[in-house]
Amino acid sequence: MPRATTDPIPVPRVDGAPGPRVRRAGLVLRPERDLSGPLAEVRAWADEAGVVLLWTPLPNGGWNRRQVASLATSAYALAAIGPSTVAVATGEPTVPLLDVDSGDARSLVGHTLSVYAVAPGPHGTLLTGSHDGTARVWDLAAERTTMVYDEHDLDVSAFGVLGGGLVVSGSGDRSLRIWAAETGETFVVCALDQPIDCLAVNRSGDRLAVGHANGALEVFVVTGLGP
């Protein structure tokens, strides 16, 4: 496996095609932090009081807003999984799954320390990141972990999904890693100057924005994901 470096490290893909590369595209200071988590046409939002709201599009335009839950703890991140399920990172090891139609709640159990990152994963899975240094890929139907990624040295703080079942994760260890959600194989390790607080991938999957704890935002170009 490649070691962390300030330069992107391409490694062979499973199918023999060139691996993806990440390069720095620009730098913007002092971004506004936003906990919004869009997935397709569903948007979810939460605040530090634990109030979780969900927006769904109306047929004639606009959005329908409804309160999904009022948690007993803060909501640090969330992910809308399809039209009716929201996963919430509350800073506890367990991850609540809220059914917005029935009002039922269940929990995913597996991490040993606080979870502060959740995101929709490839093929309907859920990604969770914890202070235990691991990222987990969850099969929501079975409510079980299908893969544990343990290559980060510190907390896993943010996720993005690229094409071909690849995930990019950021960490307090100041690294970006691109890896396969199904197998955990690492394709790129990119070391940065600051711990990573949040990240987002654009719709086409070729731009990656990374937010740091010091308020800086870096934008990267991802290439080499094609066949």
Which residues partner with 117 through β-bridges?
A: 129
**DSSP state, residue 186:** E
pTM for this prediction: 0.76
Range 121-137 average pLDDT: 94
Q: Is residue 8 part of a domain?
A: no
Q: Is residue 113 part of a domain?
A: yes
Q: Is residue 111 part of a domain?
A: yes
Q: Is residue 10 part of a domain?
A: no
Q: How many Cα atoms occupy the beta-carbon half-sphere of 121 within 13 Å? A: 25
Q: Is residue 171 part of a domain?
A: yes
Which residues partner with 28 through β-bridges?
A: 217
Give the integer Cα–Cα distance in Å for 101 and 34: 25
The winner for highest mean pLDDT among 7-21, 55-69, 72-86, 164-178 is: 164-178
- Closest to 20 (Cα-Cα) out of 164, 148, 154, 139: 164
Beta-sheet pairing, 63-70 with 51-57: antiparallel
Question: What's the number of domains the chain is made of?
Answer: 1
Tens of pLDDT, residues 141-155: 899 999 999 999 999
Question: pLDDT class for 29, splitting at 50, 70, 90?
Answer: very low
CATH of the domain at 163: 2.130.10.10
Q: Is residue 119 part of a domain?
A: yes
Tens of pLDDT, residues 187-198: 888 889 899 999
- Closest to 185 (Cα-Cα) out of 172, 160, 171, 167: 167
- Closest to 103 (Cα-Cα) out of 128, 70, 78, 55: 70
The winner for highest mean pLDDT among 31-45, 49-63, 92-106, 183-197 is: 183-197
Q: Is residue 13 part of a domain?
A: no
Q: What is the pLDDT of residue 41?
A: 54
Q: Is residue 16 part of a domain?
A: no
Domain span holding position 138: 21-223
Q: What is the pLDDT of residue 204?
A: 80
Q: What is the three-class DSSP state of 86?
A: strand
